[in-house]
């Protein structure tokens, strides 16, 4: 049985995809695309504004429904049905009470007598925090490799097996990102973070692809760059290099960490900063992988999709985790570690921008020198070194975040041992003290209090 967290995540992908489609259509409707400086007119589509509004509203409703808060607990107000009173004020007794949400007592109702407050039964105690339900990282890695192999086989055979390709496509663009979220989430030393908060960070990363695409397009227009040269195989000029290696890293590395503002209260330790930062980056990577895989599949065909899906899954996905993880780590340190945020946060942001810009610059070397095969080999070598650097940096951030949490857990154990030693010393006293402590520590009676008969 699949973990339920996967269904919520794919629901967020669907909702953010609708938002992305509606936002892109609205942008192209207001700002027509250009080709060689000449505006291109979109075809006339009846009721296009209403269609864009439907897409935006549908996506917002899906995302809002999946990220809504848990409803407030029910308050059980007693009733005088059948002439009886429940044994505890606020407790629900089957057949003698009705369920209501929080609401004041009616003015004309008789006040209840002051009843003794006994400990609530087990079924009324607070429920544990719902954890993020994701498969282990190793199973997600195996699923990703199986999805790539399945996609290759299905696209080669075609025929009746082609209906399996959507499953391979979904797993290929999502499992590499979820792998990192699951790996870091399961490394916690204390109580795991709530599922809803991790999904909020993940969803913001998905949504951030919309403003990032709009700002990148606006930057390309200002630089007079042609982003289609990468698909058409043309040589890159200075505007295209600036767009890919400077504008895109500055925009994307600024938008992804903004999701940390929605979970700011949860950033109590550097580990939590790394976890939520990686979640923001992996949401962005999921949507970007999906869009690039779909574009390559339509533009170049099945063989190119296989190479692109595998390369992005094992390489560029982790790139999007580095910048937000650095900012989350720095933000948690500045909030709880006494570090100066004015110096730490800009340094973390610039570190992500430099790595992202170096990665994009190395990836564009074959487009800058299309006739020289040595630059292509150098590009692959540089990307390999940058991949190792990104993996090492994420691992080091996670190690330092866990090391920061380790003294806290050790201190808790020391306190528990001291408390046990103190109890042993107290128990070594006279018998009267022991009897008094036993009476004081005795649990209250479990039987329900009943009102006296008239």
| Separation between Cα atoms, residue 248 and residue 142, nearest integer Å | 32
- Beta carbons of 183 and 402 less than 8 angstroms apart: no
Q: Distance from CA of residue 122 to its chain's centroid?
A: 32
What residue spans define the domains of the chain?
1-34+45-69, 194-409
φ/ψ of 34, rounded to 5, equals: -125, 150
Based on the number of CB atoms within 10 Å of its own CB, is 28 exposed (0-12), middle (13-18) or buried (19 or more)?
middle
What are 197's two structure tokens? 């908060």
DSSP string, 72-119: PPPEEEE--GGG---SSTT---TTTEEEE-S-PPPTTSPPPP----PP
Query: What is d(CA 217, CA 210) in angstroms, rounded to the nearest whole number?
Result: 11
Per residue of the chain (454 residues), give pLDDT as tens: 568 889 999 999 999 999 999 999 999 888 877 666 566 666 677 788 899 999 999 999 999 999 988 765 554 444 444 444 444 444 444 444 444 434 455 555 555 555 565 565 555 555 667 888 899 999 999 999 999 999 888 888 877 788 889 999 999 999 999 999 999 999 888 888 899 999 999 999 999 999 999 999 899 888 888 777 666 666 677 888 889 999 999 999 999 999 999 999 888 889 999 999 999 999 999 999 999 999 888 888 878 888 889 999 998 899 999 999 999 999 998 887 677 778 889 999 999 999 999 999 998 888 777 777 788 888 889 999 999 999 999 999 999 988 886 655 444 443 333 233 334 434 444 444 444 444 344 444 444 334 344 4
Bridge partners (DSSP) listed for residue 98: 77
* Structure-block tokens of residue 85: 């009173």
Helix, strand or coil, per DSSP, at residue 131: strand
Residues 243, 225 contacting (CB under 8 angstroms):
yes
Tokens of 352: 């992500």
pTM for this prediction: 0.78
DSSP letter string over 33-75? -EETTEEPPPPP-TTHHHHHHHHHHHHHHHHHHHTPPPPPPPE
Burial class of 261 by CB neighbour count within 10 A (0 to 12, 13 to 18, 19+) = exposed
């Amino acid at each position: 049985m699949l973990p339920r967290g996967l269904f919520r995540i794919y629901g967020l992908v669907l909702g953010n995809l609708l938002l992305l489609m509606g936002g892109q259509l609205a942008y192209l409707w207001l700002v027509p695309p250009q080709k060689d400086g000449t505006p291109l007119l979109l075809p006339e589509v009846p009721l296009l504004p209403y269609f864009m509004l439907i897409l935006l509203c549908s996506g917002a409703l899906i995302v809002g429904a999946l990220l809504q808060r848990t409803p407030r607990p029910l308050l059980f107000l007693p009733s005088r049905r059948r002439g009886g009173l429940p044994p505890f004020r606020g407790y629900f007794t089957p057949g003698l009470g009705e369920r209501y949400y929080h609401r004041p007592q009616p003015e004309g109702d008789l006040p209840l007598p002051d009843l003794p407050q006994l400990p609530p039964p087990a079924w009324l105690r607070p429920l544990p925090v719902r954890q993020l339900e994701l498969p282990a990282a190793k199973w997600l890695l195996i699923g990703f490799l199986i999805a790539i192999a399945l996609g290759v086989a299905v696209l080669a055979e075609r025929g009746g097996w082609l209906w399996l390709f959507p499953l391979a496509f979904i797993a290929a663009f999502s499992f590499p990102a979820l792998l990192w979220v699951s790996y870091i989430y399961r490394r916690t030393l204390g109580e795991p973070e709530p599922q809803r908060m991790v999904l909020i960070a993940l969803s913001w990363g998905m949504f951030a692809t919309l403003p990032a695409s709009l700002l990148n397009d606006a930057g390309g227009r200002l630089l007079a760059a042609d982003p289609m040269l990468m698909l058409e195989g043309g040589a890159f000029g200075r505007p295209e290099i600036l767009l890919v290696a400077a504008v895109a890293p500055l925009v994307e590395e600024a938008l992804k960490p903004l999701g940390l503002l929605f979970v700011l209260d949860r950033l109590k330790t550097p580990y939590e900063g790394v976890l939520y930062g990686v979640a923001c980056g992996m949401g962005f990577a999921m949507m970007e992988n999906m869009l690039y895989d779909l574009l390559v599949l339509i533009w170049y065909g099945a063989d190119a999709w296989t190479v692109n899906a595998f390369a992005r899954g094992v390489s560029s996905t982790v790139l999007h985790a580095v910048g937000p993880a650095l900012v989350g780590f720095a933000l948690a340190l500045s909030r709880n570690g006494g570090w100066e945020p004015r110096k730490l946060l800009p340094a973390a942001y610039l570190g992500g921008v430099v790595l992202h810009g170096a990665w994009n610059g190395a990836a564009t070397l074959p487009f800058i020198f299309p006739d020289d095969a040595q630059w292509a080999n150098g590009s692959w070598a540089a990307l390999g070194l940058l991949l190792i650097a990104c993996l090492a940096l994420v691992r080091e951030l996670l190690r330092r975040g866990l090391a920061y949490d380790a003294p806290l857990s050790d201190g808790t154990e020391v306190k528990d041992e001291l408390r046990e030693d103190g109890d042993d010393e107290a128990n070594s006293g006279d018998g009267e003290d022991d009897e008094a402590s036993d009476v004081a520590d005795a649990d209250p009676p479990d039987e329900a209090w009943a009102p006296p008969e008239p």
